[in-house]
Amino acid sequence: MRKGPTKRQGQSRGKGKGKGRTARAAAPVKSRMADVEIQGLLWRLDRLERQVKTLSELVRDHAEDADRVVRIVGEDHEMLRRQLLREHQEALRARKRAQAAVSLATAAKLGLTR
């Protein structure tokens, strides 16, 4: 029987501890790592593109909402302006009627009526 280390599968005789195998295996490992990094970058790029698309939709929706609010406020402003104008015109008419009534009363006191 032999004593000492037995020959393991994949080791070659006389080259030391797997020196030939590590040199050949290093290239595929680096290639796999590069593939994983590229896949990670592609995933992040896709995610960023989706986020930009969602953000663009949100910005457009916000702008539409802001336009709607401006239109509503403008309509309310116009409605309030018309209402205030009507009230002002009514007050003017009331003042003119009161002034006319005072003028007639004054004229009647002075005997200037027909």
pLDDT in tens, 63-105: 999 999 999 999 999 999 999 999 999 999 999 999 998 888 8
Question: What pLDDT, on a 0 to 100 scale, did the predictor assign at position 34?
Answer: 86
Question: What pLDDT, on a 0 to 100 scale, did the predictor assign at position 32?
Answer: 85
Q: 12 with 20: CB under 8 angstroms?
A: yes
Q: Rounded to an integer, what distance in angstroms lies between the CA atom of residue 97 and that of residue 104?
A: 10
- Residue 17 CA from chain centroid, whole number: 60
Its pTM stands at 0.45
